[in-house]
Structure 1
Amino acid sequence: MIPVRGFDGATVVVLGLGRSGLTAARALRAGGAHVLAWDDGAKGREAAEAEGFEVRNPTQPGALDGVTTLVTSPGIPHLYPAPHPAIAAALAAGVAVDNDIGLFFRSLGWGDSVPRVVAITGSNGKSTTSALLHHVLTQAGRRAHLAGNIGRGVLDLDPPGTDDVIVLELSSYQTELARSLTPDVAVFTNLTPDHLDRHGGYGGYFAAKRRLFAEGGPDRAIIGVDEPEGLFLAGQMQEALVDDRVIRVSLGKLSGPGWLVTARKGWLAETRKGRQVASVDLRDIPGLPGRHNHQNACCAWAAARALGLAPREIEAGLRSYPGLPHRSQRIAERGGVTYVNDSKATNVDAAAQALQAFDRIRWICGGLQKDGGLAALHPHLARVARAYVIGREAQAFALALGPDVETDICTDMATAVARAAADSGPGETVLLAPAAASFDQYDSFERRGEDFVACVAALGAD
């Protein structure tokens, strides 16, 4: 555990006692703070009491007297669509609001050991980029830790050494509120619409991501520039025509004398001062299928280069990367048919990227639709032989796909997998890429992916 510094003797409220919240409470107490804990659920309050924390409802009169800071879990809204009552009370009382990411960065400079930190955000690909970078570093013999929105809660890490590298995946929920954001390397993968209700629209969503670069000023900024927001952010960070503090990443053609990492037609290329210095053929790397994973590889490559790794070390790590569960995960091949679990494709853009990665697709899709509809998928449906639609509103989802794709209303995963397997032939891919949230049928995208894996495994038992 990393003790939180700067709160010795202070009274701090921790709101939300899930994984990150309870860990934050322990880390604050280890740093000398007096911790008051609250969760809207009785189970969370009971867990805190069992560990000796004082439980207090911060919305009660006088409950915030003497409190310096309220630390909230990332899933709790603090502004849009409306602040949680406890956060509203804290703001009205002049109590600072922070989260565990802010506490982590605040605590880094208190010891003799100061690790390097790479923080990765973006709409899609940040989990794979984070896991891929962590894998590349460990394969190269570097001591690396994976935390944040993936792996362990950041304050749950053992105190790191000076030679360590901490790789953080950060969601917009985390970057939006953290009062301290000072990574050595910051990565912005891309931006597509997501969580718009939480951020008050697309501009608010981008602003939440941008804070990672604006608050502390990273030594190196790695920015995907294929969307206007990324191009704008790179322009803001760059201070000269040749500025090695900014590495631009693209799936298209980039020019200029700056530091560039691109992937075109499956080839990754690194260019500096107008000269190519390294290239890798990504097309035969099984753990990184498709253009979206090629972008992830570019971001991880750039971060590893910023940390001083040689191209040959990075290429070896890319080639040995096994992939992440639920993210373009090849789980089986039977009778020439490949089964791929991309349950993390919870929005339209992520699903579109998955559809571009394979030919002749039997597509399992559906769930709780997000704002914006499914129109952005239409240009990518030519590769779909048939869509097998799951979810409580499968009929409406199928209609939204339009008349150009043949659909099969399956509703549940077992039916979808069985029908897709029966229809498929050699050379085809049965792909779970839902383009929707899971909460109509599952409590997480992980549970949905696990159900898919189990249904595919059951095929072999018949």
Structure 2
Amino acid sequence: MIAVKGLEGQKVMILGLGRSGLSAARALRAGGAEALCWDDNAQARERAEAEGFACVDPLSRDGFEGVARLIVSPGIPHLYPTPNRVVAAAWRAGVPVDNDIGLFFQSFGGSDWDGFDTMPRVVAVTGSNGKSTTSALIHHILDQAGREAQLAGNIGRGVLDIDPPGDGGVVVLELSSYQTDLARSLTPDVAVFTNLSPDHLDRHGGMGGYFAAKRRLFAEGGPDRCVIGVDEDEGRYLANQLAEAAGDDRVISVSVEEKLTGPGWHVFSRKGFLSEYRKGRQVASIDLRGMPGLPGAHNHQNACSAFAACRALGLGPREIEKGFQSFAGLPHRSQLVGERGGVRFVNDSKATNVDAAAKALQAFDKIRWICGGLEKDGGLGGLLPYLGTVSKAYVIGREAANFAMQLGGIEVEVCGDMASAVALAAAEAEAGDVVLLAPAAASFDQYDSFEKRGEHFMAEVAKLL
């Protein structure tokens, strides 16, 4: 556990008692603060009380009396579409609002580091798509190279639940826009921006607010090295803002769409080959085509980002390549579930938006595509250029008919539920086909999470295999 520093003897209110909320309460108590907890869910409050925490309604009279800070869980809106009532009350009371990420960076480090030969470092990864795979890949590479590494944040453990790092230890954090938007302290040593596509727009008041939340990690965090995906205008803008000159190697540019060979530090992938260029000269190359855990161009982008971050940490290209070779991938992200009669079944339930689904469709040929769910803002127009690999679409979800109407130019069958879609796709598939779950939509119309949706797909495939 990372005990929270700087709030000793003070009262701190915790709003939201899920994984991050309870973790923050424990870390605050370990650091000598008094954690006051609240959640609208009575069972969540009971769990907190069972651990000895006092539950106090912050909206009660004098609820914020003597409170030094309000810690808000990431699922609770603090500004858009409307501020949570407790957050608004904290503003009126003059109580600073923060989250567990802010507490982590505020508390990371201590006098025990004085005896270390190499200071522990933090790598923070954000972006719209690929940040989970990129974070897990960085952690895996470090682990395979014999480096002490921990994975936390939006993946793995809560940031305050990790162990204090040892000499030369590295903490790899996946950070969502919900987390970067509110944290009062953001000071990673290496920060990674994978890419940007429309997502969570209601939560951030539009695309500008969404990008601004991501940008805080770099503009306010002051990392020593920045790894920036430059295949969108926002990434190019960010790289330009962070670099002092064209040859500033504190910024490592990453691309899967173009060759980057100018002055500075670049990592890019073309036709399945990763290349590293520094000062206009190639210094490393890796063939990604045979990496089983990294199929498709979108995973090659993840590989480039992870490669750049690990190079910034001092690892050599061959060490990184070994990590690529042994990386098995993450569940629900281009996950090969099984094969029958030359037909492969792939679970990419994490493809919850149009951009992620488009990348999945580009990773395979001859696709039997299972899609649909709770449609996000912007419609499905961004998918239309990538439907050439789709033999047929099998649409699920409560609004399957409306979803199907937007998929012009391909054969579509409205199935409604996962079991029907998997059974029909498998029955119609031929050798060489891929039955791909890449929903291009959120899961919440039929499932509690994308993980539950992916697990249902895998269970239906298991019946066939």
The aligned counterpart of 2:411 is 406
1:393 aligns with 2:399: yes
Q: Is the 8 A contact 1:368 1:391 kept in 2?
A: yes
Counterpart residue type for residue 415 of structure 1: S
The aligned counterpart of 1:210 is 215
The aligned counterpart of 1:71 is 71
Counterpart residue type for residue 80 of structure 1: Y
The aligned counterpart of 2:275 is 269
1:419 to 424, 431, 440: 424
1:382 to 380, 388, 411: 388
> How do 1:78-89 residues align onto structure 2 when only pairs under 5 Å count?
78-89=78-89
The aligned counterpart of 2:103 is 103
The aligned counterpart of 1:291 is 297
TM superposition shift of 1:255: 3.0
TM-score normalised by the chain length of structure 2: 0.98
Query: Could you say what secondary structure the match of 2:423 adopts?
Result: helix
Q: Is the 8 A contact 2:261 2:277 kept in 1?
A: no
Counterpart residue type for residue 30 of structure 2: A
1:253 aligns with 2:273: no
Distance 2:322 2:399 in 1: 45
The aligned counterpart of 2:116 is none
Distance 2:136 2:246 in 1: 32
Counterpart residue type for residue 50 of structure 1: A
Q: Is the 8 A contact 2:148 2:170 kept in 1?
A: yes
Quote the sequence identity (%). Answer: 71
Q: For residues 152-202 of structure 1, give each alpha carbon's deviation from its aligned partner in whole angstroms, at most 9, with x where no partner exists.
A: 001011111131100000000000000000000000000000000000110
Q: For residues 344-402 of structure 1, give each alpha carbon's deviation from its aligned partner in whole angstroms, at most 9, with x where no partner exists.
A: 00000000000000000000000000000000000000110000100011111100112
1:314 aligns with 2:320: yes
The aligned counterpart of 2:28 is 28
The aligned counterpart of 1:143 is 148
Query: Could you say what secondary structure the match of 2:12 adopts?
Result: strand
Distance 2:3 2:111 in 1: 11
Distance 1:23 1:202 in 2: 31
Q: For residues 126-176 of structure 1, give each alpha carbon's deviation from its aligned partner in whole angstroms, at most 9, with x where no partner exists.
A: 000000111111011111100000000010111111311000000000000
Distance 2:305 2:353 in 1: 21
Query: Could you say what secondary structure the match of 2:355 adopts?
Result: helix
Distance 2:404 2:8 in 1: 57
Q: Is the 8 A contact 2:350 2:450 kept in 1?
A: yes
Distance 1:235 1:360 in 2: 40
The alignment's C-alpha RMSD in Å is: 0.7
Q: Is the 8 A contact 1:116 1:162 kept in 2?
A: no
* 4+ runs deviating over 6 angstroms: none
The aligned counterpart of 1:133 is 138
Query: Could you say what secondary structure the match of 1:112 adopts?
Result: helix
Distance 2:60 2:91 in 1: 14
Q: Is the 8 A contact 1:5 1:110 kept in 2?
A: no
1:51 aligns with 2:51: yes
Counterpart residue type for residue 417 of structure 1: V
Query: Could you say what secondary structure the match of 1:155 adopts?
Result: coil
Q: For residues 45-95 of structure 1, give each alpha carbon's deviation from its aligned partner in whole angstroms, at most 9, with x where no partner exists.
A: 111111111101111121101001000100100000011111110011110
Pairs aligned (count): 459
TM superposition shift of 1:293: 0.3
Q: For residues 193-243 of structure 1, give each alpha carbon's deviation from its aligned partner in whole angstroms, at most 9, with x where no partner exists.
A: 000000011000000000000112000000000100100000111012211
* Structure 1 unaligned residues grouped into runs of 5+: none
1:116 aligns with 2:121: yes
The aligned counterpart of 2:163 is 158
Q: For residues 12-46 of structure 1, give each alpha carbon's deviation from its aligned partner in whole angstroms, at most 9, with x where no partner exists.
A: 00000000100000000100001100001111111
Distance 1:305 1:112 in 2: 27
